[in-house]
Amino acid sequence: MAASTLKIENLHVSIEGKEIIKGLDLEINGGEIHAVMGPNGTGKSTLASAIMGHPKYQITEGKVFLDDEDVLEMEVDERAKAGLFLAMQYPSEVSGVTNADFLRTSINARREEGDEISLMKFIKKLDSKMADLDMGEEFAQRYLNEGFSGGEKKRNEILQLMMLEPKIAVLDEIDSGLDIDALKVVSKGVNAMRNEEFGCLIITHYQRLLNYITPDKVHVMMQGRIVKSGGAELAQRLEAEGYDWIKEELGIKDETVGQEA
């Protein structure tokens, strides 16, 4: 399997008629970890949801390609099967469906009929990934996210990431609400995925996560666009100095969506 590329060109996204993302360009290659940072209300999570095809968001302009496939033409499940993954900020709870059944259904959805993963192989993989994430065995049989704490839900998202092994993953504020121990566990999971083919887009507004997952590229989002890009050192500067210097540099008064420079 060769490394994939997710290419976003001039993306415009609206919700209920209000434009949130206003011409965004981004290219993520397999093997790279990108971080999109920025204060609240700048469109970061909208970007994540729009890539996956969230029903609330309308793409009004632009292109998203995974290699040579037009992502915006695909249904949500087709995007997943093409190799995209979104770890959600607020994962849904689904009562009556166990975590294990859900995961097995997900894995088998991307395999041909008759080529389903064997139960033994599945359980083995699930046990090992759950151990990596310090998740108790009972999580396999609990209903999907039902009654999970915030931290447990985030771990469960990473568990799905590790089980499904996508080409390109988008992690939407996977660090919010986590204590330091949980943050380390989640980071460990993401780092374990790192290889020459796996591409990842981490969306966060805390630099803290990037102490544990070193990004190859860091982008700053304001007013629905990427306004600055750099290497890991950019995240460190943001941690030390905040966002004001960027706003000053670019002449931005209010960084949130709906404001213009």
Q: How many CB atoms lie within 10 A of CB 253?
A: 9
- Cross-strand partners of 203: 36, 172
With beta carbons less than 8 A apart as the criterion, state whether 3 and 197 touch: yes
Give residue 236's identity as a one-letter amino acid code: Q
- Cross-strand partners of 230: 218
Q: For other proteins, which stretch binds (CB under 8 A), given 36-44, 72-80, 209-217, 247-255?
A: 72-80
Q: For other proteins, which stretch binds (CB under 8 A), given 25-33, 47-55, 131-139, 175-183?
A: 47-55
The residues near 76 (Cβ < 8 Å, ≥ 6 apart) are 52, 53
CA dihedral 128, 203, 107, 72 (to 10 degrees): -170
Please give the Cα distance from 201 to 124 (Å, whole number): 28
Residue 142 binds other proteins (CB under 8 A): no
Residue 168 sits at φ, ψ, to 5 deg, of: -130, 125
Name which position in 70, 77, 137, 181 contacts other proteins (CB under 8 A). 77
DSSP string of 44-62, one letter each residue: HHHHHHHHHT-TTEEEEEE
Q: What is the nearest approach in angstroms of other proteins to the Cβ of residue 110?
A: 5
Q: For other proteins, which stretch binds (CB under 8 A), given 13-21, 70-78, 119-127, 250-258?
A: 70-78
Reading phi first (left if > 0) and then psi (alpha if -120 to 50, else beta), residue 79 is in alpha
Residue 53 binds other proteins (CB under 8 A): yes
Name which position in 52, 59, 117, 192 contacts other proteins (CB under 8 A). 52
Q: What is the nearest approach in angstroms of other proteins to the Cβ of residue 86?
A: 5
Q: Which of 219, 106, 221 is nearest to 157 (CA)?
A: 106
Q: How many CB atoms lie within 10 A of CB 142?
A: 17
Q: For other proteins, which stretch binds (CB under 8 A), given 31-39, 53-61, 123-131, 204-212?
A: 53-61
- Report how many residues bind other proteins under the rule CB under 8 A: 30
Residue 208 binds other proteins (CB under 8 A): no
Residue 101 binds other proteins (CB under 8 A): yes
Residue 141 binds other proteins (CB under 8 A): no
Residue 162 sits at φ, ψ, to 5 deg, of: -70, -30
Name which position in 7, 12, 63, 110 contacts other proteins (CB under 8 A). 110
The residue behind tokens 């965004």 is 24
Residue 148 binds other proteins (CB under 8 A): no
Closer to other proteins by CB, 156 or 187: give it: 156
Q: For other proteins, which stretch binds (CB under 8 A), given 96-104, 208-216, 219-227, 241-249?
A: 96-104
Name which position in 8, 26, 86, 209 contacts other proteins (CB under 8 A). 86
Q: Rule CB under 8 A: which of 163-182 touch other proteins?
A: 164
Q: Which positions lie near other proteins, rule CB under 8 A?
A: 52-55, 75-77, 79-81, 85-86, 88, 91-97, 101-102, 105-106, 109-110, 143-144, 160, 164
